[in-house]
């Protein structure tokens, strides 16, 4: 029997990313776990309004989404502990500037450079609807067909209730292999 647990946000775990943008001409980084997919070419980032990063996103309309793996996690965690409003985080990660002008973490296995399409505002939050301009992936995480191999990349997952990081698990089957009877 299920117990009602209020209206708890239960959609976890989610992939963990570092959002990069330029603020006042310098890169700034924030750790974000509240991410979503919209269609096949857009993603959503839900970010608290006061974040320093939001200022840069609104100014430039551009951001990078850097997927976090285990190697990147210690520095990524730091990006979630301090605000760029109080501490300069521009040198936290070695970075390059991408074709869209966004800062890209060199060590990140996969990065999406995005243009902000829309902002959905709710109490205390700005959710940025982002169109993916280009995706960059380290060759070591690509399979023979050039697709990202998530068994190799092993993105870190985030869950809010215990505020912990999870690693991705084993492959348990091919999609539609259980349900497709034809
Ligand atoms: C594990 C983790 C996940 C986080 N996820 C989010 C998130 O989804 N949305 C958000 O607004 N802040 C999130 N934060 C908080 C920001 O990363 C943090 O407040 C950061 O200092 C903001 O940096 P800024 O002010 O330089 O932009 C998260 C922090 C941690 C540690």
Q: Is the pTM of the predicted complex or chain greater than 0.75?
A: yes
How far is residue 133's CA from residue 101's CA, in Å, rounded to a whole number?
A: 11
pLDDT at 100 over 90: yes
- Determine the Cα angle at 93 with ends 89 and 98, to 5°: 105
Count of Cβ atoms closer than 10 Å to residue 80 Cβ: 15
Tell me whether residue 3 is in a domain.
no
Distance 81 CA to ligand 1 centre (A): 7
Q: Is the CB of 80 under 6 A from ligand 1?
A: yes
Tell me whether residue 177 is in a domain.
no
Q: Is the CB of 51 under 6 A from ligand 1?
A: yes
Task: Give the burial class of 22: count Cβ atoms within 10 A of its Cβ; 0-12 exposed, 13-18 middle, 19 or more buried.
Answer: buried
Closest ligand 1 atom, residue 29 Cα = 26
Q: What is the pLDDT of residues 10-59, one digit of tens each?
A: 999 999 999 999 999 999 999 999 999 999 999 999 999 999 999 999 99
Distances (CA, A) of 138 to 67, 68, 97, 109, 111: 11, 13, 16, 5, 9
Name the domain count of the chain: 1
Tell me whether residue 9 is in a domain.
no
* Host domain of residue 48: 14-166
Query: How confident is the model at residue 154, as a pLDDT?
Result: 97
- 156 close to 70: Cβ distance less than 8 angstroms: yes
Question: Per the structure block, which two tokens stand in for 23?
Answer: 């603020």
How far is residue 57's CA from residue 64's CA, in Å, rounded to a whole number?
A: 10
Q: Which of 15, 20, 52, 80 gets mutated to test ligand 1 (max ligand atoms within 8 A of its CB)? A: 80
Tell me whether residue 5 is in a domain.
no
Q: Is the CB of 128 under 6 A from ligand 1?
A: no
Share of the chain above pLDDT 90, in %: 98
Tell me whether residue 152 is in a domain.
yes
Distance 14 CA to ligand 1 centre (A): 14
In sequence order, what are the residues at sequence separation of 6 or more whose Cβ sits closer than 8 angstroms to the Cβ of residue 148?
A: 110, 137, 141, 142
Query: How confident is the model at residue 115, as a pLDDT?
Result: 98
Distance 64 CA to ligand 1 centre (A): 15
Q: Is the CB of 158 under 6 A from ligand 1?
A: yes
Detail the DSSP E strand segments found in the chain: 14-15, 17-23, 26-32, 35-38, 42-48, 62-67, 95-97, 103-105, 110-122, 125-137, 157-159, 164-166
What's 58's domain CATH number? 2.30.110.10
Question: Per the structure block, which two tokens stand in for 45?
Answer: 């980032």
C-alpha closest to that of 127 among 54, 60, 55: 54
b/e 131-145 (16+ beta carbons within 10 angstroms → b)? eebeebbbeebbeee
Tell me whether residue 118 is in a domain.
yes
Query: How confident is the model at residue 181, as a pLDDT?
Result: 81
pLDDT at 182 over 80: no
């Amino acid at each position: 029997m299920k117990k009602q647990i209020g209206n708890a946000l239960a959609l976890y775990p989610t992939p963990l990313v570092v959002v990069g943008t330029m603020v006042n001409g310098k890169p700034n980084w924030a750790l974000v776990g509240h991410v979503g997919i919209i269609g096949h070419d857009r993603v959503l980032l839900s970010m608290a309004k006061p974040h320093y990063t939001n200022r840069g996103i609104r100014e430039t309309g551009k951001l990078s989404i850097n997927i976090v793996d285990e190697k990147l996690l210690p520095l990524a965690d730091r990006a979630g502990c301090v605000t760029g409003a109080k501490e300069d985080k521009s040198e936290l990660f070695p970075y390059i500037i991408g074709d869209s002008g966004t800062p890209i973490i060199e060590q990140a296995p996969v990065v999406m450079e995005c243009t902000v399409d829309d902002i959905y505002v709710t109490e205390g939050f700005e959710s940025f609807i982002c169109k993916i301009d280009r995706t960059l992936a380290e060759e070591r995480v690509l399979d023979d067909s050039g697709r990202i191999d998530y068994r190799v990349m092993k993105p870190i997952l985030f869950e809010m209730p215990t505020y912990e990081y999870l690693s991705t698990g084993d492959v348990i089957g091919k999609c539609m292999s259980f349900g497709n009877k034809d």
